């Protein structure tokens, strides 16, 4: 396995397939319909414009096994040190260290960018993701009851946070 910086040209179809699988088969994404391929160009451009990484883990043969990224938590200036992350691993490769390796690198990227707080919004019934985040040091920060509706039921959204040791000198403005 090898860690890579994902690109639109090389990885967009695989990332789209991973996200659409999560949309159709899980409550990991609170979306109803699979995303169209043209959405990936906008998605990658937004990440690049903000300076946010899109990291991937490839097999030795070049297959994308998973990806991780983060984005703006809230679009107000005082939240500039906080990001909300996403990490997805393909079915069949979960529990093999792919997600852990991606998250460790993503956390290192956040520290290098002088960020202070990484937030994960997780469906409250997703025990596997909650355990995964706790293993990485994330702590429960609160739950919004009935935040979403999918698959004929109300979904609770749990927030988990990891406080980072950066920035050394935060500034306003």
User: Residue 9 phi/psi, 5° resolution?
Assistant: -65, -40
pTM: 0.94
**CATH code: domain of residue 52:** 3.40.630.30
Q: What is the pLDDT of residue 41?
A: 97
Q: Is residue 11 part of a domain?
A: yes
- What angle do helix axes 98-112 and 127-135 make, rounded to 10 degrees? 50
Q: Is residue 38 part of a domain?
A: yes
* Interval 51-70 mean pLDDT: 97
Q: What is the pLDDT of residue 108?
A: 98
Pairwise CA distance, residues 24 & 42, whole Å: 21
Confidence tier at 70 by pLDDT (50, 70, 90) = very high
> What is the number of domains present in the chain?
1
Computed over every residue of the chain, the mean pLDDT equals 96
Q: What is the pLDDT of residue 109?
A: 98
Confidence tier at 17 by pLDDT (50, 70, 90) = very high
Confidence tier at 173 by pLDDT (50, 70, 90) = confident
For the ranges 2-6, 62-66, 72-76, 90-94, which has the lowest average pLDDT? 90-94
- Which of helix, strand or coil describes residue 101? helix
Residue 77: which domain range?
2-163
Q: Is residue 93 part of a domain?
A: yes
- In the block, residue with structure tokens 């749990």: 158
Centre a 10 Å sphere on the Cβ of residue 32 and count the other Cβ atoms it contains.
Answer: 10
Kindly report, residue by residue over 80-138, the tens digit of the pLDDT.
999 999 999 998 888 889 999 999 999 999 999 999 999 999 999 999 999 999 999 99
The two tokens of residue 71 are: 């984005």
Q: Is residue 82 part of a domain?
A: yes
DSSP-derived secondary structure for 109-168: HHHHTT--EEEEEEETT-HHHHHHHHHTT-EEEEEEEEEEEETTEEEEEEEEEEE-S--S
* Interval 62-75 mean pLDDT: 96
* Interval 74-83 mean pLDDT: 96
Q: What is the pLDDT of residue 129?
A: 96
Q: Is residue 171 part of a domain?
A: no
Q: Is residue 128 part of a domain?
A: yes
Q: Is residue 149 part of a domain?
A: yes
Q: Is residue 173 part of a domain?
A: no
């Amino acid at each position: 396995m090898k860690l890579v910086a994902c690109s639109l040209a090389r990885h967009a179809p695989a990332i789209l397939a991973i996200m659409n699988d999560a949309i159709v088969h899980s409550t990991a994404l609170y979306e109803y319909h699979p995303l169209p391929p043209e959405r990936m160009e906008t998605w990658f451009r937004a990440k690049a414009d903000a300076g946010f990484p899109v990291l991937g883990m490839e097999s030795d043969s070049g297959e994308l096994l998973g990806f991780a990224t983060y984005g703006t938590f809230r679009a107000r200036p005082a939240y500039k040190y906080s990001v909300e992350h996403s990490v997805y691993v393909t079915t069949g490769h979960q529990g093999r260290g792919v997600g852990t390796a991606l998250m460790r690198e993503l956390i290192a990227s956040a520290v290098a960018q002088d960020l202070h707080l990484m937030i994960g919004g997780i469906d409250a019934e997703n025990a596997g993701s909650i355990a995964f985040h706790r293993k990485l040091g994330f702590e429960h920060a609160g739950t919004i009851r009935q935040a979403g509706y999918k698959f004929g039921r109300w979904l609770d959204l749990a927030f988990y946070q990891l406080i980072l040791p950066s920035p050394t000198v935060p500034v306003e403005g």
